[in-house]
Amino acid sequence: MKFVIIGSGIIGLSIAKALIDKKIHKPLNILILDKYAIPSKGTSVHNSGVLHAGLYYKPGSMKAKLSIDGGIKLREWCKKINLPILECGKLLIPFNENDYVNLEKIEKNALNNGCNVEMIDHDRASNIQPFLIKKDKYLWSPNTSVFDPKLIVERLYKSLKEMGVNFLKKSVILDDSDKKRLIFDDYTNLSYENYINCAGPGALDIAKSVTNKFDNLTILPFLGQYAVQKSGLEIKTNLYPVPDPELPFLGIHLTPRINKSSLIGPNAIPVFKKDIQGYDLKDMRDIPSIITNNIILFASNKSNYRNHALSELSFNSKNKFYVNALRYFSSDLKSNFQIEMDSKTYGIRAQLLNRNTYELENDFIYEKINNNIHIVNAVSPAFTSCFSLAEFIVNKVI
Ligand SMILES: Cc1cc2nc3c(=O)[nH]c(=O)nc-3n(C[C@H](O)[C@H](O)[C@H](O)COP(=O)(O)OP(=O)(O)OC[C@H]3O[C@@H](n4cnc5c(N)ncnc54)[C@H](O)[C@@H]3O)c2cc1C
């Protein structure tokens, strides 16, 4: 009987790698299932590709621990196998009084997490990114980098396949735990000894079939749109606004990419449809409850949600992306700056909402049930954290 991994995204693939590296299972004994595409064409290949340095996450949280260690491991692995990594750093830029206050809080938090950050002035910041808008200070994170998510997912898949890991296109609908078998949507089933559920947006439903521990959680989907810069000034580093500490979104940022064309985004628009721009959101099909939950969050303004929703709902045009991108620069270079919306880059964020508290869940969430592990909130920066998150989870298998 094979050890089963549900989901062929970066988390499922990293878990397989960790099981093999730690000699817990032989490649031939591992079976990875995915309902849509192998390897995944989901969130793992539709994201910003920023290797986060761990600045924002609460000290002691899973995100803080695993993103810093994971970032180091992912960077080393890419270098070892000659996958490109852009070691370009990141500048956080304050735009209003509140941002200055939050910038100091982020600096303190980052230092508590052991990150390498430093407040710098305009002269130094301009040496990093020419034509940068003049502000009193900026937070500089030299260890933030950029990776190519697609190249990483494809390389990991290829190496696992070559080692003999098994892959199968199947959609798990539930765990018939009494009989220790996974039931597929075509009414076939698969007996298992153990499994790890890393089905991204589908993980919560599978977990709910065996436990009521997650009854208070539901998915609130957000669409992250991006524009791509076509011409103009070269973006040398990640340029980020100061995020609202209440929200799990980081704001529209500029990210230099490996292929030189920089990425602008993402926004985070609440989604109320099942099919959106080529994405199949059937994993999150409960549209009436999504609408209700959005209304409750909007009315209560929990997590500052009303302000977010209002600014995002108006933020769906190329012009708005253009204005947001240009706010990072001094006014004299606007003429040559061209951008294009690029729907191929859009990603869906399956954000978890706690229905008891009406708070957006921010940290990674996992649970071991009947000796199987369910990872139900592998949100950003789970790609950065993938190798450390996988090792952490695999240690729970033993
Ligand atoms: C807009 C956006 C930007 C982001 N930017 C960054 C960033 O810059 N840096 C960073 O570190 N992270 C970033 N992230 C987060 C990161 O992309 C994700 O955390 C990560 O890709 C999650 O990987 P995964 O393997 O859990 O999920 P996925 O890639 O979604 O893989 C899950 C797989 O499970 C399969 N599946 C689902 N249901 C079932 C089922 N019932 N049966 C079988 N298979 C199933 C799906 O088909 C899918 O292939 C971003 C996310 C978004 C949305």
CB contact at 8 A, 238 and 89: yes
**Beta bridge mates, 349:** 222
- What is the distance between the alpha carbons of residues 396 and 371, in angstroms, rounded to a whole number? 9
Query: Which pair of tokens denotes residue 87?
Result: 């070691």
**CA terminus-to-terminus distance, the chain:** 17
Report the pLDDT value the prediction gives residue 285, as an integer from 0 to 100.
Answer: 60
If you measure from the C-alpha of residue 79 to the centroid of ligand 1, how many angstroms do you get, rounded to a whole number?
Answer: 23
Tell me, using a 6 A CB cutoff, whether residue 155 lines ligand 1. no
For residue 154, give the CATH number of its domain.
Answer: 3.50.50.60
Nearest C-alpha neighbor of 33 from the set 200, 167, 154, 188: 167
Report the pLDDT value the prediction gives residue 331, as an integer from 0 to 100.
Answer: 73
Tell me, using a 6 A CB cutoff, whether residue 43 lines ligand 1. yes
SS (H, E, C) 184-238: ECCCCEEECCCEEECCHHHHHHHHHCCCCCCCCEEEEEEEECCEEEEECCCCCCE
Tell me, using a 6 A CB cutoff, whether residue 266 lines ligand 1. yes
Give the C-alpha distances (Å, rounded to integers) separating 281 from 42, 265, 278: 11, 21, 9
If you measure from the C-alpha of residue 44 to the centroid of ligand 1, how many angstroms do you get, rounded to a whole number?
Answer: 4
Tell me, using a 6 A CB cutoff, whether residue 9 lines ligand 1. yes
Element (H, E) at 6: strand 3-6
Give the C-alpha distances (Å, rounded to integers) separating 110 from 67, 68, 118, 378, 388: 12, 11, 10, 21, 19
Q: In terms of DSSP H, where are the helices of 113-168?
A: 122-128, 149-163
In 244-260, which positions are buried (b, 16+ CB within 10 angstroms) versus exposed (e)?
beebbbbbbbbbbbeee
Query: 30-34 and 3-6: which strand pairing?
Result: parallel
**Beta bridge mates, 240:** 92
- What is the distance between the alpha carbons of residues 347 and 224, in angstroms, rounded to a whole number? 5
Report the pLDDT value the prediction gives residue 311, as an integer from 0 to 100.
Answer: 77
Nearest C-alpha neighbor of 46 from the set 387, 257, 348, 268: 348
Query: 338-341 and 85-86: which strand pairing?
Result: unpaired
Tell me, using a 6 A CB cutoff, whether residue 271 lines ligand 1. no
Tell me, using a 6 A CB cutoff, whether residue 50 lines ligand 1. yes
Strands (E), 61-130: 85-86, 90-93, 118-120
CB contact at 8 A, 114 and 68: yes
Residue with CA closest to ligand 1 atom 27: 200
If you measure from the C-alpha of residue 143 to the centroid of ligand 1, how many angstroms do you get, rounded to a whole number?
Answer: 23
Tell me, using a 6 A CB cutoff, whether residue 67 lines ligand 1. no
- What is the distance between the alpha carbons of residues 199 and 197, in angstroms, rounded to a whole number? 6
If you measure from the C-alpha of residue 10 to the centroid of ligand 1, how many angstroms do you get, rounded to a whole number?
Answer: 7
Residues of the domain holding 29: 3-397
Q: Which pTM value belongs to this model?
A: 0.95
Report the pLDDT value the prediction gives residue 316, as an integer from 0 to 100.
Answer: 59
If you measure from the C-alpha of residue 156 to the centroid of ligand 1, how many angstroms do you get, rounded to a whole number?
Answer: 15
Tell me, using a 6 A CB cutoff, whether residue 238 lines ligand 1. no
Tell me, using a 6 A CB cutoff, whether residue 255 lines ligand 1. no
If you measure from the C-alpha of residue 383 to the centroid of ligand 1, how many angstroms do you get, rounded to a whole number?
Answer: 8
CB contact at 8 A, 248 and 138: no
Residue with CA closest to ligand 1 atom 14: 380
Tell me, using a 6 A CB cutoff, whether residue 265 lines ligand 1. no
The number of folded domains in the chain is: 1
Nearest C-alpha neighbor of 250 from the set 141, 154, 88: 141
Tell me, using a 6 A CB cutoff, whether residue 218 lines ligand 1. no
* Per-residue model confidence as pLDDT tens for the chain (398 residues): 889 999 999 999 999 999 999 999 999 999 999 999 999 999 999 999 999 999 999 999 999 999 999 999 999 999 999 999 999 999 999 999 999 999 999 999 999 999 999 999 999 999 999 999 999 999 999 999 999 999 999 999 999 999 999 999 999 999 999 999 999 999 999 999 999 999 999 999 999 999 999 999 998 888 899 999 998 899 999 999 999 888 888 889 999 998 878 999 999 888 876 665 545 566 566 777 888 888 888 888 887 888 888 877 765 578 889 989 999 998 767 778 899 999 889 988 888 999 999 989 999 999 999 999 999 999 999 999 999 999 999 999 86
